[in-house]
Amino acid sequence: AQKITQTQPGMFVQEKEAVTLDCTYDTSDPSYGLFWYKQPSSGEMIFLIYQGSYDQQNATEGRYSLNFQKARKSANLVISASQLGDSAMYFCAMREDRDDKIIFGKGTRLHILP
Amino acid sequence: GAGVSQSPRYKVAKRGQDVALRCDPISGHVSLFWYQQALGQGPEFLTYFQNEAQLDKSGLPSDRFFAERPEGSVSTLKIQRTQQEDSAVYLCASSLDSTTPMYNEQFFGPGTRLTVL
């Protein structure tokens, strides 16, 4: 069963606007972590942000924040003040704490327009 | 310091050939992961090592795939009798020990792009 769903295959956003990338997940494990990674055209995977299932506050890292809605099983990534360098593939991912592997979604390709 | 390195960056193999892909994790990183990323898809888990112990190999697609990490540092992913469906980018990632908070951050290498003709 697919555990991570990213419904936006591609998005176009004007530079300096905020952007929200959607992610929903499915798990029966009460303890888990959620991740977002960025993959530019060069191919490397860059860790952006992490949210634990028991964390009380939404995670933030600079311009990145994770909008965690546990009851809806939603973990959207919000990028504030987008920049041209934000153009890349973005992957939402999850790891159940009883396991070590990370399960990735299919990704969203973000295009920032000048 | 140096990040995760992988070699070769590109590999072209004829169907039926054996290939070996190398991963050098960040020094001191206990955990090492291999992923397979097909074109246009997200990475898919293959296998996981903690030091030299292979704790999870549930993602290996067939018995043609074999991974090792004999001394708990460098790891090799071997694919025997390659098939066209093995064409993908193979990503290696490493992280600190699972008991540390920073375990959550996996550092990825640049990947090896394998093309099987």
The predicted-structure confidence for B15-62, as pLDDT tens digits, reads as follows 999 999 999 999 999 999 999 999 989 999 999 999 999 999 999 999
Q: Does the beta carbon of B108 lie under 8 angstroms from any beta carbon of chain A?
A: yes
User: What residue type is A114 in one-letter code?
Assistant: P
Q: What percent of chain A has pLDDT over 70?
A: 98
Bigger pLDDT: B10 or A29?
Answer: B10
**Residue B46 has which token pair?**
């293959």
CA separation (Å) from B38 to A47, A62, B11, B90?
Answer: 20, 31, 15, 9
Cβ A107 vs Cβ A89: under 8 Å: yes
Q: What is the DSSP string of A55-110?
A: -SS--EETTEEEEEEGGGTEEEEEESS--GGG-EEEEEEEEETT--PPEE---EEE
The secondary structure of residue A15, as a DSSP letter, is: T
Q: A84-94: per-residue pLDDT in tens?
A: 999 999 999 99
Q: What is the pLDDT of residue A105?
A: 95
**Residue A40 has which token pair?**
């530019």
Closest chain B residue to the Cα of A52, Cα to Cα: B104
**8 Å CB contact of A33 and B104:** yes
- Residues of chain A in contact with residue B55, where contact means CB-CB under 8 angstroms, are 100
Rounded Cα distance between A50 and A61, Å, is 9
Residue among A52, A44, A64, A57 nearest A96 (CA) = A52
**8 Å CB contact of A102 and B91:** no
Q: B61-104: per-residue pLDDT in tens?
A: 999 999 999 999 999 999 999 999 999 999 999 988 766 655 67
The shortest C-alpha distance from B15 to chain A (Å) reads 25
From the list B50, B98, B106, the residue facing A47 with the nearest CB is B106
